[in-house]
Amino acid sequence: MVDLQPKGAGSGGAATEDTKIKEYFDLVNNTLSLESLKVNMDDLNSKLSDESTRGPYQNAFMQECEKLNTMINAILKSLFELDLAYKGELTMNEAMETLEDNIRLDRIPPQWKKLSFPSERNLISWTENIKQRIDQMNLWKDDPIKLPKVVFINRLINPNSFLTAIKQIYCRALKQELNKTTILTEVQKKMYWE
């Protein structure tokens, strides 16, 4: 039903919609500052330039950082283009209209969903979750040779990559076959800071 409602007609309809889009722009650019959260891959590569320092964990985390940066770049680029269209410097196209509609409806736009992690969150919650994912990678990048004491699997775009890294390290240490190794999870009644 929300999709069928008129988008600009009536008393103040357009002003409300413009407010939602401005609020989302503000969230991305000011509140979360997604541009400043991107992981500097050149800096990270220089810290891991020696092959002996780059293992399965580092490879899994490097992939995560690259995927997060790609996703942030896509978000920022499409929002920048939409802003240019509002200013009259670009012609509004179908992709921009789709983006605009999804922001108004608090949905993840399809062009971002393709690059994203599976999620049923609304757009605002999804965007805030990107910051949590980046924060986890930023904690790791300060000393990329060491594995963090706690890794939130649910904050990884590709958690299987990290789980495979765990199995690789275990199999190398004990000279086991990787394809015959499984991960057993034991749930503990502890918080991550304990």
- Residues 71 and 112: beta-carbon distance below 8 Å: yes
pLDDT score of 7: 55
Joined together, the tokens standing for residue 126 give: 């999804």
Task: Return the percentage of the chain with pLDDT > 70, whole number.
Answer: 90
pLDDT of residue 92: 92
pLDDT at res. 184: 86
pLDDT of residue 150: 86
183-to-165, 178, 179, 180, 190 alpha-carbon distances in Å: 11, 11, 11, 10, 20
pLDDT of residue 148: 87
Q: What pLDDT is stored for residue 102 in this prediction? A: 96
Q: What is the pLDDT of residue 1?
A: 55
The structural domains of the chain, with segments of one domain joined by +, span 14-180
**Mean pLDDT of residues grouped by 10 in the chain (194 residues)?**
51 54 94 92 88 87 95 96 92 94 95 93 96 91 88 92 93 90 83 72
User: Residues 56, 25: contact at Cβ < 8 Å?
Assistant: no
The DSSP result for 105-140, as a single string, is: TT---HHHHTTS------HHHHHHHHHHHHHHHHHH
Cα 119 from Cα 128, distance rounded (Å): 13
CB-CB neighbours of 50 under 10 Å: 8
What is the reported pTM? Answer: 0.83
